[in-house]
Chain A
Amino acid sequence: MVVERTMIAVLFAPVPTKRRMAVSAPLDTTIEVVTPENIAFDYQLAGPFRRLPAYLIDVAIRLVTFLAIIFLVMMSGMLAGGLFGSGLLPALGAAVLLILYFLQAWFYGVFFEAYFNGRTPGKWICGLRVISDDGHPITGMQALIRNLLRAIDLMPATTLAALDPEDSFFAMLPLMTGMVGLVTMLSTRRLQRLGDLAAGTMVVMDERNWTLPVARVDDLRVPALSSFVPADYRATPTMAKALANYAERRLYLSPPRRREIARHLAVPLLDRFEFRRDVDPDLLLYAIYYRTFLADGVAEAPQLGSLSGFSPLAKDAQFQDATAAHTTAAAATQPSATHTAATQPSADHATALSPEDRS
């Protein structure tokens, strides 16, 4: 009795705040699994809504297959009846159909999951896979257990005959609600149904590539600007991650939105680097990204073309503005404007890295 009371007290004791905070990782459908070999994998879990299309595809495949079997059995029966007479053939055909239906209904999933590394055709199409709790491929026994228990996960099955007892429509409309499986998935961290819990399995997305792709930098202004970032500046790990996210997603955002997002970090960085205030925030973050991830891998200095004389530093701005003014005045006196732009690029430099230059 004393032991029981102690157990109850332990079970209902309030969880210490520290422990509660420690386990409150961001809520996500991703889970980390550490294998017995001490290798960690990140898996994206598949819950009921991701599994439903795969299940419906499997049901459709089973239905089509069974209709094909019925057709084949009937054709075989007709042929055999013509050859050997029709005595026991209808009963034999019905028996064959029942056995095949039984095998298909109960062992379709077992067969495919056991022999095709945790994938039925539906799961394969939807990119899902069943794996063990510890990250290993599932065994035949696990496939058997989880598929046999599916019948319970789909419970309760009922009709609404009571709504209108005289109407046979409701009596003939049974629904496998799947509430047992849904409630079990709701209660488990790994979104496991009863069959998964019994077999020690979980369903995950069959994805292989989880690393962020390195963005390719085509803009000449990026290496140009990155060369002015102070040599002692090193991006912190969190900064590097933020920059990588930004570089990956910026292509999907409109240029004004890029600048709006980037300026949160770019404006104080402009001050730190003592850059001009009109440098494009988007370009600055992209330049730091280039400097952090790509610059070391580039053996040659970038070809800067007309940007070779430009400096984003605030202390050079006064000189450049004066040069730009001089060039403008000179262009007004010279007959060929194109010649001026080609030989004296300073006029373009003033706005080369400013937001207005971006299209």
Chain B
Amino acid sequence: MQLDRTHVKVRPRSLSEIGDLALMLIRQYPQALLVGFFLGALPWALCNLLLVGWLPLSETIENVYDEETIEQRYRYIWLMTCLIYLQSPLAGAFTTYYIGQAIFEERPPWQRVFRETAAVSLRLLWSLGIVRGAIPAMLLVLSNWGGEFALGRELFWMFVLLIWATAIRSFRPFLPEILLLERCPIFAGGNATALSAGRRSRLLHNPLGGDLFGRFALAGSLIALLALGLFYSLVFTFEAVTNTSQWSLTVTLVLLPLALWMAAGFSVLVRFLSYLDCRIRLEGWEVELSLRAEAMRQFGEESGFSPSPATVSGAATVSGAATSSAADASPAASPASAVGAP
């Protein structure tokens, strides 16, 4: 394996170029979204259907069009949008791992993707599901299942969760990559050389805090526009095909979540490419790959994966750069270690 011959050109990029490259990634690796994101999002989409799908269904069964119908429609849209926004990092786990491997090998096998993702599923559920508000939001919605609109739970507390999740995700956007690709544990335990996900996250994110927030805000706005455009287009196509302009159950239960999930899938690719860009800017990742590759060419396969001395790790902590501990934690001489090992 030649580390500098990646399937995606590794170099610093602007946010707009990352957006364009994400589109090219979709064309190059359609299965990352069609298989990976579909399978990742399916359980959450079904849960959402069970949690909030009763709202439009009950209105349709009543078959009375009044002011309450419109209110329930807005309520459904709000809750569905919040849930998908909070669940999207979890749903993108397979895609993240697949794309991370696809940088080094053209077609990573799906069995390995599922196996490796399942190996860190508890960490993902804790960090992305509970701490970042996806599962609490589902419980919040569940607590009012079948009831009237609850201002406190469905608006105020949901809004608080959204703010909380947005704040964390804007300043710590690359935690999914840290957990999935760098394989950092939640707790380092007694191992002095192991790097916990929290510490690694601080090392990676802190030096770029303001920049990351700006990028998150801009990318979020563009993806929100994309979701709106996708929804409008799907509704337009549906109306053109069925020759109707009614707001039907299909629009509510299928087209709205579909548009939101499509935008969420795109956001996973943008986030992954931003992660690479962050590592390139902060840690000179592309330089490291080219030097490792050159060492392997000149001195054999072992040279490219030589661990760094512990003294460097300590010094790197002070400087804000990455440490070599993550390399020790990940399987040596594998593509995962090349992506994950700083």
Contacts and interface: CB of A to CB of B under 8 A. Distances in A.
Contacts of A16: none
Contact of A162 (B230, B247, B286, B287): B247
A185 interface: yes
Interface residues of A, number: 59
Given A158-B235, A257-B284, A268-B303, A186 B23 contact: yes
Contacts of B288: 261, 264
A254 B320 contact: yes
Nearest to B324: A260
Nearest to B247: A162
Interface stretch (B120-128, B186-194, B311-319): B311-319
B9 A28 contact: yes
A254 B321 contact: yes
A167 B71 CA distance: 12
B7 A26 contact: yes
Interface string B256-288: 000000000000000000000000010110111
B291 interface: yes
Interface stretch (A88-96, A241-249, A319-327, A338-346): A241-249
A47 B23 contact: yes
B73 A26 contact: no
Given A245-B286, A268-B298, A255 B319 contact: yes
B211 interface: no
A52 B219 CA distance: 13
A175 B259 CA distance: 15
Given A164-B70, A256-B319, A264 B291 contact: yes
A50 B235 contact: no
Nearest to A257: B321
Interface stretch (B25-33, B163-171, B176-184): B25-33
Contacts of A162: 235, 239, 245-247, 251
B308 interface: yes
Given A48-B19, A249-B284, A265 B295 contact: yes
Contact of A24 (B106, B245, B291, B299): B106
A28 B20 contact: no
A26 B9 contact: yes
A256 B315 contact: yes
B5 interface: yes
Contacts of A84: none
Contact of B232 (A47, A158, A186, A245): A158
Contacts of A239: 294, 298
B222 A49 contact: yes
B8 interface: yes
A191 B309 CA distance: 45
A166 B247 CA distance: 13
B292 A264 contact: yes
Interface string B5-45: 11111010001111111011111100000000000000000
Contacts of A29: 17, 20-21, 24
A309 interface: no
Contacts of A166: 70
B311 to A, nearest CB: 9
A246 B285 CA distance: 11
Contacts, number: 181
Contacts of B320: 254
A53 B225 CA distance: 14
A49 B20 contact: yes
B228 interface: yes
B17 to A, nearest CB: 6
Nearest to B219: A49
Contacts of B209: none
Interface in A173-194: 175, 177-179, 182, 185-187, 191
Contact of B284 (A45, A236, A261, A265): A261
B230 A179 contact: yes
B199 interface: no
A52 B308 CA distance: 44
Q: Name which of B8, B16, B245, B284 has the most chain A CB atoms within 10 A of its CB.
A: B284
A22 interface: no
Contacts of B9: 26-28, 30
B284 A186 contact: no
B16 A53 contact: yes
Interface in B315-339: 315-316, 318-322, 324
B21 A28 contact: yes
A257 B291 CA distance: 13
B294 A242 contact: yes
A90 to B, nearest CB: 37
B206 interface: no
Contacts of B106: 24
B306 interface: yes
Contacts of A163: 73, 247
A264 B232 contact: no
Nearest to B24: A27
A242 B4 contact: yes
A6 to B, nearest CB: 28
A187 B5 CA distance: 25
A116 B155 CA distance: 53
B322 A257 contact: yes
Contacts of B251: 162
B291 A242 contact: yes
Interface string A142-181: 0000000000000010101111101100000001011100
B23 A241 contact: no
A50 B232 contact: no
Contacts of B236: 156, 158, 177
B229 interface: yes
Interface in A252-294: 252-265, 267-268, 285
B165 to A, nearest CB: 24
A28 B233 CA distance: 28
B110 to A, nearest CB: 19
Interface string B288-302: 101111110111000
Shortest beta-carbon contacts, A-B, top 3:
A49-B19, A47-B20, A254-B319
23 contacts: A26-B6, A27-B25, A29-B21, A49-B20, A50-B17, A53-B16, A156-B237, A179-B230, A179-B233, A186-B23, A186-B26, A187-B27, A236-B298, A238-B293, A242-B290, A246-B290, A254-B316, A260-B321, A264-B304, A265-B292, A267-B306, A268-B295, A268-B303
